[in-house]
Structure formats: structure tokens, C-alpha cells
């Protein structure tokens, strides 16, 4: 039963991101100066209000939708691009392999946060820019995993037999290679979601993430930091959501690999 806890927590976070803004009736950007700094547990404001009188729970829910949407979409784009690059390089080999993997090495040599800061500062903060930057940052990691796993699978007897019998390359890739490298890619995807939330929140904290007044967890932490001495919960509450979400998706990768990889199941 314990192995299902993390997947359930991840699903709960995603459901909260999708349904939270609907379930929480308060407007996340509506200001009410009279009700500013309401404490946690105030009727109508379960997690209190911020320095502008905005409902913290509503802002957390709206921020969850933004954070998880950007993390999931950027991870999906990076996964798709990385698999295409890695599988193509490993299966084709020769000049194609050399060119593609050297480009991946160049991308991996650039510090991710520095690259993100340069791109966002040049193009301006927006949801689309953030998704593109995150996808660009994490594509090389997926390419490396797909490349290594494909090299391993490509040397197995059933792949060699399919080649000898004249099976089309497309059938070999989609029917034999991809199913056998799915488990490590899923584990990498879970870790990437956590990393995307971390980088996205960090950019939001620096003011280079989601544009106000749209709420983001990183922006809420930055706003709450100014009132850490008098109203610490304004910083602690979004910080707890950031940390807990990152931890859930970070550990989830190993759980998914254990559940879905037949080699892991067979070894128990």
C-alpha cells in the first residue's frame, strides 16, 4: 500500500491544480485593503490574506495550476524531443550520432539557471517563454537517457532477430525499443517535473517568471519575504507547497520504475 502513496499524492496535487481555482470561490487577484494580513483560520480566508488583502488559498490554488501546467507541458515537450534525438542517434550511429550527441553535450555543459536567466531576460517573462526555456533545459537529459537505453536494447537478441527478418525500422523502434526504455524515461520525467517546478519557482522569486497579477508560488515567496518578521506565514505557506511538491515528484520516479518495469517486479 505504501508504494501507492506517492502516486496518489501526485494525482492529488494535479487535481488540486485543475479543480482548486473552481473549488475556492475567492478571487486570487481581488484586493481588499481592509482585510489585509488576516491570520490563518479567518472565516472566509482559510489560509489568511496577504499584504493586499488577497486570499492566500485562492492564490495558492491559482499558482498551482500555473506551476504544474508549465512543469508538465515543458516536461512533455522535452521528453518528446529528447526521445527523438536519443533514439535517432543510438539507432542510426555514424555521423548522425556524432552530431546529435555533441549538440547534447554542449547543451549539458551550460549551467541551466544561467541559460534560463539569459533567455527569460531577453524575451521577457511569460508562460510561453517559461515553458520554452524549461523544455530547452531538460531536453538534453532525456536525450542522454534515451540514447543510453537504446544502445543497451539495440544489442539484445530480439532486436537483432527483427533486423535479420527484415522488420521495418519504424516497427522496431515503436514496437520493441520504446516499450523497453519507457520505465527509465518515466522516472526521468518525474524528476524533471520536480526540477521544472524548482526552476520555475526560482525564476518567479527573482521576478522573471509569471507576470503579475497572475499568482505564482515563487512570486508569493518573494512577496512574503518582505513581511517575514511580522507575518511569516505569507512566505512559509507557499514555500511549503513548493518544497512538498518537489519532494513528491522527486521520489515518485523510483516508485514508477518499480511499479512499471518488469525487471524490477521480477526481482522482488
CATH of the domain at 127: 1.10.3720.10
Per-residue pLDDT of the chain (268 residues; tens, 9 = 90+): 455 676 777 888 888 888 877 788 788 888 888 888 999 988 888 899 998 999 999 999 988 888 889 999 999 999 999 999 999 888 887 788 888 988 998 888 888 778 888 888 788 778 888 899 899 989 999 999 999 888 888 878 877 787 777 777 777 788 888 888 888 898 889 889 989 999 888 888 888 777 777 888 998 999 998 898 889 999 999 999 999 888 888 887 767 666 665 555 544 4
Q: Determine the Cα angle at 207 with ends 202 and 209, to 5°.
A: 65
pLDDT of the residue at 192? 92
Residue 14 included in any domain: no
Alpha helices in 93-111 (DSSP H): 94-109
Residue 4 DSSP code: G
| Residues 23, 27: Cα–Cα separation, whole Å | 11
What is the rounded end-to-end Cα distance, in angstroms, of the chain? 15
Q: How many domains does the chain have?
A: 1
Query: Which 3 state secondary structure label does DSSP give 99?
Result: helix
Residue 160 included in any domain: yes
Residue 186 included in any domain: yes
pLDDT of the residue at 161? 80
Distance between alpha carbon 82 and the CA centroid of its chain, in Å?
15
The burial of 208, by beta-carbon neighbours within 10 Å (0-12 exposed, 13-18 middle, 19 or more buried), is given as buried
Residue 28 included in any domain: no
Per residue, the 3-state secondary structure of 161-204, as one string, reads: HHHHCCCCHHHHHHHHHHHHHHHHHHHHHHHHHHHHHHHHHHHH
Residue 26 included in any domain: no
Residue 211 included in any domain: yes
Q: Among 241, 234, 216, 238, which Cα is nearest to 36's?
A: 234
- Please state the pTM of the whole predicted model: 0.86
Can you name the residues that pair with 49 across neighbouring β-strands?
55
How big is the chain by its Cα radius of gyration, in Å? 22
Residue 29 included in any domain: no
pLDDT of the residue at 262? 52
pLDDT of the residue at 257? 65
pLDDT of the residue at 82? 94
Can you name the residues that pair with 85 across neighbouring β-strands?
none
Domain span at residue 77 reads: 2-6+39-262
| Residues 64, 54: Cα–Cα separation, whole Å | 16
Total number of residues shown for the chain: 268
Residue 76 included in any domain: yes
Q: Among 130, 7, 149, 122, which Cα is nearest to 72's?
A: 130
Amino acid at each position: 500500500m505504501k508504494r501507492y502513496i506517492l502516486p496518489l499524492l501526485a494525482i492529488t496535487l494535479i487535481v488540486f491544480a485543475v479543480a482548486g481555482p473552481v473549488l475556492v470561490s475567492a478571487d486570487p487577484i481581488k484586493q481588499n485593503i481592509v482585510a489585509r494580513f488576516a491570520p490563518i483560520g479567518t472565516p472566509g480566508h482559510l489560509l489568511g490574506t496577504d499584504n493586499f488583502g488577497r486570499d492566500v488559498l485562492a492564490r495558492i490554488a491559482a499558482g498551482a495550476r500555473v506551476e504544474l501546467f508549465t512543469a508538465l507541458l515543458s516536461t512533455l515537450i522535452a521528453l518528446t524531443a529528447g526521445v527523438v534525438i536519443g533514439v535517432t542517434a543510438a539507432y542510426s550511429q555514424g555521423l548522425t550520432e556524432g552530431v546529435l550527441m555533441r549538440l547534447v553535450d554542449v547543451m549539458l555543459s551550460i549551467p541551466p539557471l544561467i541559460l534560463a536567466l539569459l533567455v527569460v531576460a531577453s524575451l521577457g517573462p511569460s508562460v510561453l517563454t517559461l515553458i520554452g526555456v524549461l523544455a530547452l533545459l531538460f531536453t538534453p537529459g532525456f536525450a542522454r537517457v534515451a540514447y543510453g537505453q537504446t544502445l543497451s536494447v539495440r544489442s539484445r537478441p530480439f532486436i537483432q532477430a527483427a533486423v535479420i527478418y527484415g522488420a521495418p525500422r519504424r516497427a522496431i523502434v515503436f514496437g520493441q525499443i520504446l516499450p523497453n526504455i519507457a520505465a527509465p524515461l518515466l522516472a526521468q520525467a518525474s524528476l524533471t517535473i520536480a526540477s521544472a517546478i524548482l526552476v520555475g519557482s526560482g525564476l518567479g522569486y527573482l521576478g522573471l517568471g509569471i507576470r503579475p497579477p497572475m499568482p505564482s508560488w515563487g512570486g508569493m515567496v518573494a512577496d512574503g519575504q518582505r513581511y517575514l518578521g511580522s507575518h511569516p506565514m505569507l512566505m512559509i505557506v507557499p514555500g511549503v507547497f513548493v518544497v512538498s511538491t518537489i519532494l513528491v515528484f522527486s521520489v515518485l520516479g523510483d516508485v514508477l520504475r518499480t511499479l512499471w518495469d518488469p525487471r524490477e517486479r521480477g526481482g522482488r
